[in-house]
């Protein structure tokens, strides 16, 4: 979405139950600034506020739908105001078959936004008629009738995420010490306490895995070299499949006893390898400066 003023607004709308909530969450995972259920009359003012941010906000997505009640009728006027101001925008319209929408509402036991005006089926048909004109001007229409949540997230990433497929996933590689507990947010956990421990070298004990001497000590071991080959092969197999399921953030936790030496070196090295393969990677060392107790195997 190119914008002369530095940003464009993606407007997500469509039928209730068609997946707008999952779509906005997927966009949030992709780094979009997201607003759910924005009253249409506030859209031009919202665009002005974003413009005043002077580049600090570049990707914006808003959900505008029938939950706005009578305010929803202001949407076409708001779009006209955006056009007059030269503000670029796109409309993503989500829909599903009537049968699927009825099933989804019955399964979740949620009320339709138009409930009170008729039975569920009548509410869905009424909303479909009210949105016909908006659907007609949408830039993209997605039918989610046969989609899983993961498939919808993957399509959102394909349409609005970075062009580089690997760039769609943010990877955090975290070193930690088992004595302080396994990270609760870890997706993959690997124990590297089988690797030679530099703690027992008096020269290296007070250093961390960020120091050159410790890094060389850990990486020179044949066991370390073999581990890196085998584990990187496993990740090369896993990551495309995670992407295919719509996963946008993965936490890889690498643990040694104290989280000061071995895990730090290997987290740094793994981060370098993944970055070199085109993934967006952040490396964190949770326990590197914790405690001074002996780091025993």
3-class secondary-structure state, position 187: coil
Q: Is residue 290 part of a domain?
A: no
Q: Is residue 275 part of a domain?
A: yes
Q: What is the pLDDT of residues 157-203, one digit of tens each?
A: 878 876 555 556 789 899 999 999 998 878 999 999 999 999 999 99
Q: Which domain covers residue 143, as residue numbers?
A: 8-161
37: left (phi over 0), alpha (psi -120 to 50) or beta: left
In the numeric block, which tokens belong to residue 297? 């195997």
CB neighbour list of residue 283: distance below 8 Å, 6 or more residues apart? 172, 173, 174, 175, 267, 268, 271
Q: How far apart are CA 36 and CA 25, in angstroms?
A: 10
Task: Assess whether 258 and 274 both reside in one domain.
Answer: yes
Task: Assess whether 174 and 272 both reside in one domain.
Answer: yes
Q: Is residue 211 part of a domain?
A: yes
Task: Assess whether 231 and 127 both reside in one domain.
Answer: no
Residue recorded with tokens 């914006």: 60
Domains in the chain: how many in total?
2
Q: What is the pLDDT of residues 58-112, one digit of tens each?
A: 789 999 988 766 667 788 899 999 999 989 999 999 999 999 999 998 888 788 8
Q: What is the pLDDT of residues 124-133, one digit of tens each?
A: 998 999 899 9
What does DSSP assign to residue 31? T
Residue recorded with tokens 């008729």: 118
Q: Is residue 292 part of a domain?
A: no
Taking the model in full, what pTM does it have? 0.58
């Amino acid at each position: 979405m190119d914008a002369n003023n530095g940003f464009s607004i993606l407007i997500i709308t469509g039928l209730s139950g068609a997946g707008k909530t999952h779509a906005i969450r997927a966009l949030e995972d992709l780094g979009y600034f997201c607003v759910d259920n924005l009253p249409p009359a506030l859209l031009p003012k919202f665009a002005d506020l974003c413009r005043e941010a002077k580049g600090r906000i570049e990707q914006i997505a808003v959900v505008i739908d029938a939950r706005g009640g009578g305010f929803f009728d202001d949407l076409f006027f708001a779009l006209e105001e955006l056009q007059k101001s030269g503000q670029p925008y796109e409309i993503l319209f989500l829909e599903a078959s009537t049968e699927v929408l009825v099933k989804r509402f019955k399964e979740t036991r949620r009320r339709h936004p138009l409930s009170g005006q008729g039975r569920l089926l009548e509410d869905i048909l009424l909303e479909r008629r009210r949105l016909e004109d908006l659907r007609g001007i949408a830039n993209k229409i997605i039918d989610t009738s046969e989609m899983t949540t993961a498939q919808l997230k993957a399509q959102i990433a394909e349409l609005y995420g970075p062009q580089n497929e690997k760039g769609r996933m943010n990877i955090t590689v975290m070193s930690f010490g088992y004595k302080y507990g396994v990270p609760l947010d870890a997706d993959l956990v690997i124990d590297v306490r089988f690797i030679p421990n530099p703690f027992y070298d008096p020269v290296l004990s007070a250093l961390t895995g960020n120091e050159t001497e410790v890094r060389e000590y850990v990486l020179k071991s044949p066991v370390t070299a073999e581990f890196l080959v085998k584990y990187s092969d496993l990740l090369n197999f896993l990551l495309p499949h995670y992407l295919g399921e719509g996963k946008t953030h993965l936490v890889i936790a690498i643990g040694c006893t104290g989280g000061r030496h071995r895990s730090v070196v290997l987290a740094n090295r793994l981060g370098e390898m993944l970055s070199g393969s085109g993934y967006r990677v952040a490396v964190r060392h949770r326990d590197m400066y914790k405690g001074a107790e002996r780091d025993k195997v």
